[in-house]
Amino acid sequence: MKDFLVPLAIDLIRMKNTSPEAINTSAEFCANWLGQQGLSIKVLENQGLKSVVAVGGQSDSGETLILNGHLDVVPGDPLDFVPRIEDGKLFGRGSYDMLGAVAAMMIVTAEIAKQPSACKVVLQLVPDEETGGQCGTGFLVEQGARGDFVICGEPTNLHIAVQAKGVLQLQIEVSGIAAHGSRPWLGKNAITRALENYQNIQSLDFLHASSKFFQRPSFNLAKIEGGKAINQVPDHCSFHLDIRYLPNQDPEQILADIKNVVSDATVTVVQQGDPVQTDENDRHVSLLQKTTSELTGKPIKLFGQDGSADTRFYAKHAIPAVEFGPVGANHHGPDEHVNIESLYTYQQILKNFITKQNERMILHEIKK
């Protein structure tokens, strides 16, 4: 089925999966394609967005592997949705993040379904990873989706992300006292107070932590609003912080520390997302690393992602989950592309990984 790979990825890029309508059309397209391969398919809808679940292999005794791919892509120029092949690369929005990997996962699941299997492969195609993942993977996990190991096909250049930082996004509203700009000593300037608060937060210890996979947490002053007129002391200033904490840090403690150093301010959590901390010695991780290294002839790194992905919904339930995808560049930017040869390698790695998993499970059964 090797020859389906690039055409399928091209079809998916052309669908311009940036709106709910386009994503749902894409989900239906994938469901039909998978159905034609003889797989049992479910299309689930949540808040108007469709997810596709396809099952390959049949085993009550063996393990369940989840292959998870998101169909949505970030916006781009019109030309980003006209796929083109140049120098062995497939260019187009989503080629790397992550429609190329989705196409490979679809083909592998279809192939696995046609051979005896000791483990179940569940393919999940979801609609909203780029906007938080709650309607897709979050919903599927809430509905009871579980497995022994999860691969999310995010762009990783064939290395394996076993950890991801947690997300803590805050709004800090600072109050002051308005006065005429010519007599500022009669008021209390909310903007300068916000600046002091920001500096106090910046000096907190949690921002200087590091771990094996991360040099530091991420800390970004993302938005600031304050002031109404040039001749007035502002009585209100609001700023947003995007904090990505290390997997071993406690978001409750970070929040408490922040509340402790700000004054005339209220702190509101806009969004919190769990970190991912898959055990680097997990046997599935080792098998995936070995399989990839055998096929590429290169050492494969385990690493930590600064950003978060749908792996976090599984991490919450202590299910080992990794991000693992093909080689490419420029996701979310201009000239996004995936290296076509690596896409074929990726497909083969997934297949070998599952087959080895099968062999291992069969051996395990015989020994019993």
**Residue 111 binds Zn ion (CB under 5 A):** no
- Minimum Å distance from CB 151 to Zn ion? 13
Q: Which of 63, 72, 80, 97: binder of Zn ion (CB under 5 A)?
A: 97
Using the minimum distance from each CB to Zn ion, give the nearer residue, 118 or 338: 338
- Minimum Å distance from CB 310 to Zn ion? 8
Using the minimum distance from each CB to Zn ion, give the nearer residue, 136 or 226: 136
Using the minimum distance from each CB to Zn ion, give the nearer residue, 308 or 347: 308
Residues 134-163 close enough to bind Zn ion by CB under 5 A: 154
- Minimum Å distance from CB 67 to Zn ion? 14
**Residue 310 binds Zn ion (CB under 5 A):** no
Which among 89-97, 201-209, 273-281, 342-350 is the span making contact with Zn ion, rule CB under 5 A?
A: 89-97
How many residues touch Zn ion under the rule CB under 5 A: the total is 3
- Minimum Å distance from CB 249 to Zn ion? 24
Using the minimum distance from each CB to Zn ion, give the nearer residue, 137 or 352: 137
- Minimum Å distance from CB 17 to Zn ion? 12
Which among 93-101, 120-128, 181-189, 230-238 is the span making contact with Zn ion, rule CB under 5 A?
A: 93-101
Q: Which residue is nearest to Zn ion (CB)?
A: 97
* C-alpha–C-alpha distance, residues 273 and 244, integer Å: 9
**Residue 336 binds Zn ion (CB under 5 A):** no
Residues making contact with Zn ion (CB under 5 A):
97-98, 154
